[in-house]
Structure 1
Amino acid sequence: MRHISALTTRRRVVGSLAAVLLCAAGLAAPAATARDTDGARETGGASDTRDRSAAEARPSAAKAKLPGDLARTPPMGFNNWNSTHCRAEFDEAMVKGIADLFVEKGLKDAGYQYVNLDDCWALPQRDANGKLVPDPKRFPNGIKGVADYVHGKGLKLGIYTSAGTKTCSDIGFPGALGHEVSDARQFADWGVDYLKYDNCNNQGVDAKQRYIAMRDALKATGRPIVYSICEWGENKPWEWAADVGHLWRTTGDISDNWSSMLSIMKQNLPLAEHAGPGRWNDPDMLEVGNGGMTDTEYRTHFSMWSIMASPLLIGSDLRKATPETFEIIGNKEVIAVDQDPLGKQGKVLSSDGGRWVVAKEMQDGSRTVALFNETGTAQSIATTAGAVGLPDADGYALRDLWQHKSYNTAGRIAATVPAHGTVLLRVAADGTWGKNPPAVELGLGGDPLVEAGQAKKLTSRVTNLGRTSAQQVSATFSGPSGWRIRATSPSTAGSLRTGASLSTSWTVTAPRGTAPGAYDLTLKAAYRSPGGARAARVLPLTAHVVVAPPAGDSAVSDLPWMSAVNGWGPVEKDTSNGEEAAGDGKPLTIGGAVFAKGLGVHAASAVEYYTGGACEKVAAQVGVDDEKGAKGTVTFEIWADGKKAASTGVLTNADTARGLTADVSGAQVVRLVVTDGGDGRDSDHADWAGPVLSC
Structure 2
Amino acid sequence: MKKICALVLGLLGAMNPLFAQRSNVSATPPMGWNSWNHFAEKVTEADVRAAADALVSSGMRDAGYVYVNIDDTWEGKRDAQGVIHTNDKFPDMKGLADYVHSKGLKLGIYSSPGPSTCAGYEGSYGHEDEDARTYAAWGIDYLKYDQCSFGDIIEQQAGGDQDKAASIQRAAYEKMHQAIMKAGRPMVYSFCQYGLYAVWQWGPDAGANLWRTTGDISDHWDRMSLIGFDQDGLEKFAGPGHWNDPDMLEIGNGGMTRSEYEVHMSLWAMLSAPLLAGNDLSKMTPETKSILMNRDVIAVDQDPLGHQAKRLWVEGPMEIWGKDLSGGRRVIAYFNRGEAAFDFDPRLSILAPLHGVRFKDLWSGNTIVLNEKSRLLVPRHGVLLLRQQ
The TM-score, its normalising length taken from structure 2, stands at 0.88
Partner of 1:12: none
Q: Match of 1:236, SS?
A: helix
Residue 367 of structure 1 contacts residue 388 of structure 1 at CA under 8 Å; is this kept in 2? no
Residue 256 of structure 1 contacts residue 287 of structure 1 at CA under 8 Å; is this kept in 2? yes
Residue 346 of structure 2 contacts residue 370 of structure 2 at CA under 8 Å; is this kept in 1? no
Amino acid at match of 1:127: D
Of 181, 188, 193 in structure 2, the residue corresponding to residue 231 of structure 1 is 193
Partner of 1:247: 210
Partner of 1:156: 106
Amino acid at match of 1:92: E
Task: Give runs of aligned pairs for residues 502-581 of structure 1, distance below 5 A.
Answer: none
Of 418, 421, 426 in structure 1, the residue corresponding to residue 382 of structure 2 is 421
Partner of 1:183: 131
- Determine which structure has more spread, i.e. the larger CA radius of gyration: 1
Post-superposition Cα deviations, 1:422-464, rounded to whole Å, max 9, x if no partner, equal: 1111024xxxxxxxxxxxxxxxxxxxxxxxxxxxxxxxxxxxx
Post-superposition Cα deviations, 1:253-297, rounded to whole Å, max 9, x if no partner, equal: 001101110111132222111110011000000000111111111
Amino acid at match of 1:353: G
Post-superposition Cα deviations, 1:10-29, rounded to whole Å, max 9, x if no partner, equal: xxxxxxxxxxxxxxxxxxxx
Amino acid at match of 1:415: L
Post-superposition Cα deviations, 1:309-349, rounded to whole Å, max 9, x if no partner, equal: 00000000111221111111010010000000000000100
CA RMSD of aligned residues (A): 1.9
Amino acid at match of 1:139: F
Of 359, 362, 368 in structure 1, the residue corresponding to residue 325 of structure 2 is 362
Post-superposition Cα deviations, 1:608-630, rounded to whole Å, max 9, x if no partner, equal: xxxxxxxxxxxxxxxxxxxxxxx
Q: Measure the CA separation in 2 of the matches of 1:119 and 1:157.
A: 14
Q: Measure the CA separation in 2 of the matches of 1:100 and 1:258.
A: 30
Which one has more relative contact order, counting CA pairs under 8 Å at least 6 apart? 2
Of 312, 321, 324 in structure 1, the residue corresponding to residue 275 of structure 2 is 312
- Measure how far apart 1:129 and its partner are: 2.0
Q: Measure the CA separation in 1 of the matches of 2:284 and 2:65.
A: 16
Post-superposition Cα deviations, 1:509-535, rounded to whole Å, max 9, x if no partner, equal: xxxxxxxxxxxxxxxxxxxxxxxxxxx
Q: Measure the CA separation in 2 of the matches of 1:389 and 1:222.
A: 52
Task: Give runs of aligned pairs for residues 423-438 of structure 1, distance below 5 A.
Answer: 423-428=384-389
Q: Measure the CA separation in 1 of the matches of 2:108 and 2:349.
A: 42
Partner of 2:7: none
Structure 1 gaps of 5+ residues are 1-61, 429-695
- Summarize the Cα distance change of 1:189–1:388 in structure 2 as closer, same or farther, 3 Å threshold: farther
Alignment partner of 1:78 is 2:40: no
Partner of 2:86: 134
Alignment partner of 1:197 is 2:145: yes
Partner of 2:3: none
- Measure how far apart 1:350 and its partner are: 1.0
Q: Measure the CA separation in 2 of the matches of 1:195 and 1:389.
A: 45
Partner of 2:54: 101
Alignment partner of 1:346 is 2:298: no
Residue 213 of structure 2 contacts residue 245 of structure 2 at CA under 8 Å; is this kept in 1? yes
Q: Match of 1:310, SS?
A: coil
Q: Measure the CA separation in 1 of the matches of 2:222 and 2:376.
A: 24
Amino acid at match of 2:259: T
Amino acid at match of 1:162: S
Q: Match of 1:223, SS?
A: coil
Partner of 1:526: none
Partner of 1:91: 44
Residue 346 of structure 2 contacts residue 371 of structure 2 at CA under 8 Å; is this kept in 1? no
Between structures 1 and 2, the one with greater strand share: 1
Amino acid at match of 1:310: A
Q: Measure the CA separation in 2 of the matches of 1:193 and 1:383.
A: 46
- Measure how far apart 1:127 and its partner are: 2.1
Aligned length: 358
Q: Measure the CA separation in 1 of the matches of 2:347 and 2:196.
A: 37
- Measure how far apart 1:408 and its partner are: 2.5
Q: Measure the CA separation in 2 of the matches of 1:348 and 1:212.
A: 32
Q: Match of 2:262, SS?
A: helix
Q: Measure the CA separation in 1 of the matches of 2:133 and 2:202.
A: 25
Alignment partner of 1:397 is 2:358: yes
Post-superposition Cα deviations, 1:351-402, rounded to whole Å, max 9, x if no partner, equal: 2111010010000211111100011111112457983696x77x31110100
Residue 357 of structure 1 contacts residue 381 of structure 1 at CA under 8 Å; is this kept in 2? no
Partner of 2:169: 207
The TM-score, its normalising length taken from structure 1, stands at 0.50
Partner of 2:66: 113
Q: Measure the CA separation in 2 of the matches of 1:94 and 1:181.
A: 29
Alignment partner of 1:264 is 2:227: yes
Partner of 1:221: 183
Residue 371 of structure 1 contacts residue 382 of structure 1 at CA under 8 Å; is this kept in 2? no
Identity in percent: 46
Q: Match of 1:350, SS?
A: strand
